[in-house]
């Protein structure tokens, strides 16, 4: 374990408030000698959480222009589990190239590395560092530091969860095996009739399971029940 990592993790360990976490962005940028660092979580206790070294004007502009919808970094983070080098993203469209040049004008580095992070209940965060460097230098830098950033990004997220008091929902009781089956099949698009056929039960019976699952999950309708079950990870599509 590098001394930089050890030092930073010790610092992170003693960090407990949202403000302190936010301040760590500057420390990480300086410790690791990159142009920018950012951590953006979208669903901590229902709120976004940002800790970044970006120019606040860039952050505001990014939000005003709804750039999250076209940012290839965000798209890549949604699609992949593995960390992403910005070079491997799709910058081919005019819009994304213009976005990139705007970002650079606001001080964002031309090379970037992003680690997608996912938690329960649709929690998602994106940890990124960026810098100005040539390809070979950046590849070498990432080769040397990828493990550090993998650890830092995950422990940072753990701290963000704690600092924002994000806890897992406990309301509702566990679903029965049949209730899970029903929601699973409905979640992959089958009709109630088809699900009943597959499970060899009547639609009336299936209806009882749907209603019971809705009640246990506190769902307002079937779509909501399926959505909650997916978010909880008890079913998948």
Binding site for its own copies (CB under 8 A): 1-2, 42-43, 66, 69, 78-82, 116, 118-124, 147, 150-151, 154, 157-158, 161, 168, 174, 177, 186-191, 219-224, 226-228, 230-234, 236-237
- The least distance separating its own copies from the CB of residue 36, rounded to whole angstroms, comes to 23
Look at residue 37 and give the partner it binds from DNA, its own copies, none, a contact being a CB closer than 5 to 8 Å depending on partner kind: none
Residue 23 or 205: the one with the smaller Cβ distance to DNA is 205
Geometric angle at alpha carbon 228, from 170 and 201, rounded to 5°: 110
What's the rounded Cα separation, in Å, for the pair 70 and 47?
A: 21
By CB under 7 A, tell whether 232 contacts DNA.
no
By CB under 7 A, tell whether 222 contacts DNA.
yes
What's the rounded Cα separation, in Å, for the pair 199 and 185?
A: 10
Asked if residues 234 and 225 have their Cβ atoms less than 8 Å apart, the reply is no
Query: Which segment (20-28, 119-127, 148-156, 203-211) binds DNA by CB under 7 A?
Result: 203-211
Contacts of residue 99, defined as CB under 8 A and 6 or more positions apart, other chains included, come to 67, 70, 71
* C-alpha distances in Å from residue 176, one per residue of 207, 213, 217, 220, 221: 14, 8, 12, 19, 18
- Which region holds residue 126: left if phi is over 0, alpha if psi is between -120 and 50, else beta? beta
Residue 134 or 191: the one with the smaller Cβ distance to its own copies is 191
Look at residue 188 and give the partner it binds from its own copies, DNA, none, a contact being a CB closer than 5 to 8 Å depending on partner kind: its own copies
User: Which residues make up the interface to DNA (CB under 7 A)?
Assistant: 94-95, 173-179, 191-193, 199-205, 207-212, 214, 221-223
């Amino acid at each position: 374990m590098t001394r930089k990592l050890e030092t930073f993790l010790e610092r992170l360990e003693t960090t407990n408030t949202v403000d302190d976490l936010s301040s760590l962005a500057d420390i990480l940028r300086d410790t690791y000698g990159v142009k920018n660092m950012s951590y953006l979580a979208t669903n901590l206790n229902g709120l976004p959480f940002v800790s970044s070294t970006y120019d606040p004007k860039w952050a505001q502009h990014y939000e005003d222009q709804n750039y999250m919808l076209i940012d290839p970094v965000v798209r890549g983070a949604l699609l992949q589990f593995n960390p992403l080098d910005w070079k491997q993203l799709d910058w081919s469209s005019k819009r994304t190239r213009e976005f990139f040049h705007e970002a650079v004008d606001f001080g964002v580095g031309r090379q970037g590395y992003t680690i997608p992070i996912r938690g329960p209940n649709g929690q998602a965060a994106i940890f990124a560092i960026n810098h100005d460097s040539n390809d070979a230098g950046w590849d070498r830098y990432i080769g040397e530091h990828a493990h550090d950033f993998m650890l830092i990004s995950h422990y940072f997220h753990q701290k963000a969860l704690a600092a924002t008091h994000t806890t897992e929902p406990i309301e509702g009781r566990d679903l029965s095996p049949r209730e899970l089956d029903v929601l699973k099949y409905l979640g992959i698009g089958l009709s109630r009739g088809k699900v009943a056929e597959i499970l060899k039960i009547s639609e009336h019976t299936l209806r009882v399971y749907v209603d019971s699952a809705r009640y246990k999950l506190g769902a307002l309708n079937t779509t909501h029940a399926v959505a909650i079950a997916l978010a909880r990870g008890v079913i998948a599509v």
